[in-house]
Amino acid sequence: MDLLNTLVDKGLRRELPTRAEALAVLATSDDDLLDVVAAAGKVRRQWFGRRVKLNYLVNLKSGLCPEDCSYCSQRLGSKAEILKYTWLKPDEASEAAAAGVAGGAKRVCLVASGRGPTDRDVDRVSKTIAAIKEQNEGVEVCACLGLLSEGQAERLREAGADAYNHNLNTSEGTYGDITTTHTYADRVDTVQKAHDAGLSACSGLIAGMGESDEDLVDVVFALRELDPDSVPVNFLIPFEGTPLAKEWNLTPQRALRILAMVRFVCPDVEVRLAGGREVHLRTLQPLALHLANSIFLGDYLTSEGQAGKADLDMIADAGFEVEGTDTTTLPKHRADAVAGGCGSHGGGACAPCGDTTGETAPENEPEPAASGARPDLVAVRRRGAGTDLAPNA
């Protein structure tokens, strides 16, 4: 296919595809799906070989968020029956992080619900970062705390944070349809603050919220221009009790096409396979490893993920290898771009505070088709951080 040959050539040269080419990837047929995956896989292997970076989420503060993000189970007014708790103590967070590191995670992502941190919150997270790094030699730490105020990114950097995550989520044109309590520009500003402070910036999207192909291309092109080191690709899990509870728009095939489009537009960036992969990719998850070079290990913020051992088995069975702490994640030209960057300069993508639980199947309706709604695959997290049960790692 001429389109795929062109995109591979551009990806190997780090050249931006045209919008028409990106849209064409999303419009390919299921008959061409394996060709699309194979082509994007060539680009992925050029820049990242067969390495898979593992990342582990620690939910420092769960639920009760004042923001109204429609996709999020922790949003203002959410009826989702998720865990709700206030800030974990530094030793509690460090213990949770250690489980992920023991499971093979190279990066720990510290996430807290809320509009953004107060200065006291930054102090609290700084102590947590210190505790994690003291007990887990070589671990990288990413913070995901919401909108940043002036000087906060610098303080996190001084405390030892390697990266900061704040996702754009969707296109600028449709952002107001999913959130009204802050703006798209607010999110861009926070990513730029992280960049300017010398943190490895991480920013991505959520697919499956009812957006058009044009919206998907818009947000991925905006991310390319913003130039984060890591782009997490989340797939919406429609949470019962949120405005998007009925939005089951994705098939495994479409999810793979979206990942391929992101890889072609961002060829040398760490593409993170993030929340919702188990629900929407299902048995096609191993194919996604040919597109993304990074995943989360185990559970997410408020939903349970695939068992950590199953993640490791999947990576090995697909012919990939877990990236070690002694390996730089990004290609040298990107890793060298920021003086004093972290070991991988790889942007640890923390999921948005909405990669959580799904809706219950309505009564008296037929079983969903294999390519349709699968709320049976979603479980609310009841273990790990904020509980007395061992985490999944």
Residues 75, 107, 142, 277: which is the catalytic one? Answer: 142
What is the Cα 367 distance to its own chain's centre?
Answer: 30
Burial class (CB in 10 A: 0-12, 13-18, 19+), 366: exposed
Residues 124, 263, 272, 381: which is the catalytic one? Answer: 272
**Which residue blocks in 161-209 are alpha helix, DSSP H?**
175-178, 184-196
From the CA atom positions of the chain, what is the Rg in Å? 19
Torsion, Cα 154 157 163 168, to 10 degrees, reads -10
**Three-state SS at 158:** helix
Query: Among 6, 69, 46, 88, which residue's Cα sits nearest to residue 332?
Result: 46
Residues 44, 107, 109, 266: which is the catalytic one? Answer: 109
Q: At 316, list the tokens.
A: 């090995």
Whether residue 144 lies in the annotated active site: no
142 labelled binding-site residue: yes
Angle (nearest 5°) at CA 222 between 220 and 228: 85
Q: Are 200 and 342 in contact (CB under 8 A)?
A: yes
Residues 44, 72, 277, 350: which is the catalytic one? Answer: 72
Whether residue 109 lies in the annotated active site: yes
Whether residue 342 lies in the annotated active site: no
**Three-state SS at 265:** helix
Residues 144, 202, 266, 353: which is the catalytic one? Answer: 202
Q: At 95, list the tokens.
A: 């213990």
Whether residue 142 lies in the annotated active site: yes
Whether residue 72 lies in the annotated active site: yes
Please enumerate in sequence order all residues whose Cβ is within 8 A of that of 53, keeping only pairs 6 or more positions apart, or say none: 106, 107, 270, 293, 294, 295, 323, 329, 344, 346
Which H or E run contains 47?
A: helix 33-48
* Cα–Cα distance for residue pair 47/284, rounded to 1 Å: 23
266 labelled binding-site residue: no
109 labelled binding-site residue: yes
Q: At 163, list the tokens.
A: 């990266």
**Three-state SS at 85:** strand
Whether residue 202 lies in the annotated active site: yes
Whether residue 65 lies in the annotated active site: yes
Q: At 389, list the tokens.
A: 């049960």
> What does DSSP say about strands 294-296 and 163-165: parallel, antiparallel, or unpaired?
unpaired
Which residues define the annotated binding site for [4Fe-4S] cluster?
65, 69, 72
Binding residues: 65, 69, 72, 109, 142, 202, 272
- Residues designated catalytic: 65, 69, 72, 109, 142, 202, 272
Binding residues for [2Fe-2S] cluster: 109, 142, 202, 272
